[in-house]
Structure 1
């Protein structure tokens, strides 16, 4: 997909000022309810998990409690699995996949592993089907000490006491057609750059960290997800989105250089999912199922290795 037109906010070649950011904020429309879709589901799961608030976002007149679910019978002697969804609020199956996993999961990991699930890291963006937070910042580029996104800082502060206990961290994402039609042009406009069109991969794939390259782990997930939805093929040059495909359905690069969410725990097993809900070959339900299958396979692999 190619978008040669300039983004409607800002002046081509000039980074945004506070004025342009305000215009962008005003253009964002609430389209769904974090309370109905996320908070109410977590409330219904209180009998099975400890539901905790780890922060609060205050954007304009809006208040968003940041919530997570923990194993009810938490055991400090056991390793921890962290599942994060909605770091990019518009990526629906990440949020729904995390909630579906919580809903389906019973006691199969009790005595083996502690679960910690933050299903919607960026609720303001979830409601507006946006990639950025209120401040026009991408939370999934801010997982470091000087990060500018409150969503990222709150999650890092919450999980910091558990450093050294994490066995696995799965960060649930999507790649959509709006990556090219809306979010890439907006990013270029915000930074005063020219958009560089890319081709959206058609199918599921994983992002592996070259500093923590466990291709046996990544490949095990791909094999499981292939029973649910199709795996994205590489381009003719062996890449996807400009990154090398190191194994079918797996791209790999230095995640720390991008300050991605998957780097914050130091877990031995980490991955970032990407499903493609706009494909003619899949459905929203397939995408949610792929996220759940990923989480289960990732945890099972970590426990057996």
Structure 2
């Protein structure tokens, strides 16, 4: 799917946003769903089976959002640590619900085999507004770095910091949607005072590997598992997905740490970012959730089968 270039309705073309433009953008954001009902209520049910930790708290003009992570109840220092993150971009629904579904149905399968740490909704303000940015018009998934301007990112960095060096695997659950082209990329161009260059949206699931630590066998193990659930995105006519060369079936690569991406925060051997396409006529919301769960399980299983040595 492609969209024609269009002027975003906030700001002046070629001029980066100031505080006035950001305030105008914020005034247009509408709450569409409830973090408390959709996410926190489920997390409360997990307290009987898992450890639930509040690792941060967001306060946007009096709207307070506690940030929770779910840990294995049988945490052992001799076991590898597996991190699952979702909802870094709040609008990417299956990232949140896929992480929660994994905990509900499969986390117990790894008792005594791995330490699981799951942060299912990193950006709850954006989850409620079905948006990519936080309330300050900052993309958390370009902000995982020291002195992060996004508290969502800073809080997660604080959570994982004591465990760096112990992570075997980190999988970060995302979506690529039609709204990336119709809203979020035009908004980004307007915010930064740059021209909007239309692109395409791949139809299907794909992964983003780390160009500084490529793990092709790991990526293909995840792709093979997801392919049993939903279709894998093909390369475009130029052999690319979202502008990046396809290096293997359904896989592209980014420099995760250099870009401040969530999947680069742990130093784990095995890292990946999932991307499902919920707007495909060939996929349902439940299939998207199931694809995320299949990806998580395959990622953990591969990491367990290939320990560091």
Assess same fold via TM > 0.5: yes
> What is the CA–CA distance in structure 1 between the aligned matches of 2:3 and 2:67, rounded to whole Å?
36
Q: CA RMSD in A?
A: 0.8
Q: Is the 8 A contact 2:175 2:276 kept in 1?
A: yes
Question: How far is the alpha carbon of 1:107 from its aligned partner?
Answer: 2.8
What pairs with 1:241-256 in structure 2 (closer than 5 Å)?
241-256=242-257
Aligned residue number for residue 145 of structure 2: 144
The 5 A counterparts of 1:1-305 are: 1-305=2-306
Q: Is the 8 A contact 1:3 1:185 kept in 2?
A: no
Q: CA separation of 1:106/1:143 partners in 2, compared to 1, >3 Å: closer, same or farther?
A: closer
What is the CA–CA distance in structure 1 between the aligned matches of 2:240 and 2:220, rounded to whole Å? 17
Deviation at 1:78, TM superposition (A): 1.1
1 CA distance for matches of 2:110 and 2:42?
Answer: 21
Q: Contact 2:89/2:133 (CA < 8 Å) preserved in 1?
A: yes
CA distance in 1, matches of 2:284, 2:67: 29
TM-score by length of 1: 0.99
**Which stretches of structure 1, 4 residues or longer, exceed 6 Å deviation after superposition?**
none
Q: Tell me if the contact between 2:141 and 2:262 (Cα under 8 Å) persists in the aligned partners.
A: yes
Partner SS, residue 137 of structure 2? coil
Distance 1:3 1:190 in 2: 18
Taking the aligned partners of 2:281 and 2:108, their CA distance within structure 1 comes to 36
TM-score by length of 2: 0.97
* Contact 2:107–2:116, Cα closer than 8 Å, also in 1: no
Secondary structure, counterpart of 2:301 in structure 1: helix
Mapped contact 1:85–1:120 kept (Cα < 8 A): yes
Q: In structure 2, how many angstroms separate the alpha carbons of the residues matched to 1:22 and 1:106?
A: 41
What whole-Å deviation, never above 9, does each CA across 1:240-264 have from its counterpart, x for those lacking one?
A: 1111100010011212221100000
How far does residue 2 in structure 1 lie from its aligned partner after superposition? 2.2
Q: Distance in 1 between matches of 2:192 and 2:178?
A: 21
Secondary structure, counterpart of 1:286 in structure 2: helix
The alignment partner of 1:84 has SS state of strand
Check the 8 A contact 2:167/2:268 in 1, yes or no.
Answer: yes
Contact map agreement 1:89 1:124 (CA 8 A) in 2: yes
Task: Write the distance in 1 (CA, Å) between the matches of 2:108 and 2:126.
Answer: 32
Q: Once the 2 structures are TM-superposed, how far is the Cα of residue 31 of structure 1 from its aligned partner?
A: 0.3
Question: Which ranges of structure 1 fall in alignment gaps of 5 or more residues?
Answer: none
Deviations 1:146-171 (A, max 9, x none): 32110000000111000111010000
* Alpha-carbon distance between aligned partners in 2 of 1:106 and 1:31, rounded to the nearest angstrom: 30
Q: CA deviation at 1:106?
A: 5.0
The Cα of 1:98 is off from its aligned counterpart by 0.2
Q: Is the 8 A contact 2:5 2:197 kept in 1?
A: no
Q: CA deviation at 1:4?
A: 2.1
Q: Does the Cα contact within 8 Å between 2:165 and 2:267 map onto a contact in 1?
A: yes
